[in-house]
Amino acid sequence: MPLLRLALASLANRRFTAALTAFAIAVSVCLLLAVERVRTEARASFASTISGTDLVIGARSGSINLLLYSVFRIGNATNNIRWSSYEHYAQDPRVKWAIPISLGDSHRGYRVMGTDHNYFEHYHYGHSQALELAQGRPFASDPFEVVLGAEVAQALHYKLGDQLVLAHGVATISLVKHDDKPFTVVGILKRTGTPVDRTLHISLAGMEAIHVDWHNGMPARGAERISADQARAMDLTPQAITAMLVGLNSRVTTFALQREINEYLDEPLLAILPGVALQELWSLMGTAEQALFVVSLFVVLTGLIGMLTAILTSLNERRREMAILRSVGARPWQIAVLLIAEAGALALTGIVAGVALLYAGIAAAQGFVQASYGLYLPLALPSAYEWSLLGLVFAAAVLIGAIPAWRAYRQSLADGLTVHL
């Protein structure tokens, strides 16, 4: 099509402005897609973190708070639940399995979780996938054994048999270390793409042992200290845990049991359905997500307005070009098409460059984002929704291109063949 060739040649003649215009569109398109992709992947990764768990039970607080600290290792528990409460519900005939969770310590920024063998048997993520060991075995009877999440092992270069020391609390600086009771790595889990990867798993007995000589949040001094070997000989049944995950024999009993737990008289407890709490979380985050999305849409609009400005500014200098085209037979509507083709070409270049920028960005930041936020951004082809966003940007650009096209149409009707200005 000769018109398209003419439009491209004319653009090439103004390549610096054209490149800048296309670049502005590229950056805005990249931002739009990045926001969209992070949003989608964040949802997917949150939703796939827990599966098969019917109830999460913890101390009475907010349901989102309980979900965040028990499953996502975000934030802290407000209170513990008593061991007796755990035993009460773990032995309930309607309960198929129960996983105790005890949190509060960390190792070089990664959370430590005390639990028991049920965790390796019953915890499921994604589409009902069970945890699998890449190397070694689950922790056994010795309290000072630790099983690492895949990312912990990879980032800190631990292998089976290594010894490590846990720190009290979850802050990143000036922590008191449990350095009198080192742990031995006995197992490393396969990667799951969930917070499990960023967790160190120890037994409840281990969790109890490192705190056995602590009083009022401080380690004991001098003669009161209890060595690792002494601890091994003690009864290490915990007094309290942070939360528990429960699987039921029959889904039908979920609501009845939830209600019963929430009305438990011995201790104020809270039982939540993870799916429901996730929904609450989405509705909470929905506003922020939408705000981000709207902002990125406006950035795209800004890029397109930049294009409009560039084309409109060029129109006056190009009256001669239009008149010459008219004199060799171009009709006013062909001049208009020329300008729309120009806008389309700029937008298409911008979109292609924007997608390239996005993939370059993902390739560069993938590792960092996964390590820092536990979010895996795949280098996948654009989804149907992303294609439709790109199509929308292109359509908007062509629509905006109609403005200079209309002006050029009027202008070339008025100017006719008058070349001299």
Residues forming the site for other proteins (CB under 8 A): 2, 6, 9-10, 12-13, 320-321, 324-334, 416-420
In degrees to the nearest 10, what's the CA dihedral of 67, 68, 69, 72?
A: 110
Comparing CB distances to other proteins, the nearer of 305 and 324 is: 324
Q: Which is nearer to other proteins, 282 or 333 (CB)?
A: 333
In the complex, what is the shortest distance from the CB of residue 314 to other proteins, in angstroms, rounded to a whole number? 12
From the list 341, 320, 421, the residue with the least C-alpha distance to 11 is 341
Give min distance, CB of 36 to other proteins, in A. 37
What's the CA gap between 149 and 198, in Å, rounded?
5
Query: At its nearest, how many Å lie between other proteins and the CB of residue 13?
Result: 3
Q: How far apart are CA 35 and CA 405, in angstroms?
A: 32
Least distance (Å) between residue 21 CB and other proteins:
17
Looking at beta carbons only, is 33 or 325 nearer to other proteins?
Answer: 325
Inter-residue contact 280 to 65 (CB < 8 Å): no
Distance CA 421, CA 408 (A): 16
Alpha carbon distance 401, 303 (integer Å): 13
Closer Cβ to other proteins, 195 or 404, answer by number: 404
Please state, in angstroms and rounded to a whole number, the distance separating the CA atoms of residues 228 and 212: 10
CB of 417 to other proteins, least distance (A): 5
- The structure tokens listed for 316 are 């006056």
Helix or strand or coil: residue 404? helix
Smaller CB distance to other proteins: residue 8 or 312? 8
Q: How near is the Cβ of 332 to other proteins at its closest, in Å?
A: 8
- Name the pairing type of β-strands 145-148 and 183-189: parallel
Closest CA relative to residue 108, chosen from 193, 199, 44: 199
Contact 36, 28 (CB under 8 A): no
- Whether 226 contacts 180, CB under 8 Å: no
Pairwise CA distance, residues 108 & 111, whole Å: 8
CA–CA distance from 416 to each of 253, 321, 323, 333, 357 (Å)?
82, 11, 6, 13, 43
Measured from the CB atom, the residue of 207 and 330 that comes closer to other proteins is 330
Minimum gap (Å) between residue 318 Cβ and other proteins: 10
Comparison of 4 and 369: residue with beta carbon closer to other proteins? 4
Q: Minimal distance in Å, beta carbon 353 to other proteins?
A: 22
- Axis-axis angle for helices 15-47, 332-373 (nearest 10): 40
10 or 49: CB nearest other proteins: 10
| Nearest-approach distance from CB 315 to other proteins, in angstroms | 16
> Could you tell me the two tokens for 374?
């536990």
Q: Which is nearer to other proteins, 301 or 419 (CB)?
A: 419
Helices 63-71 and 274-317 cross at an angle (nearest 10°) of 90
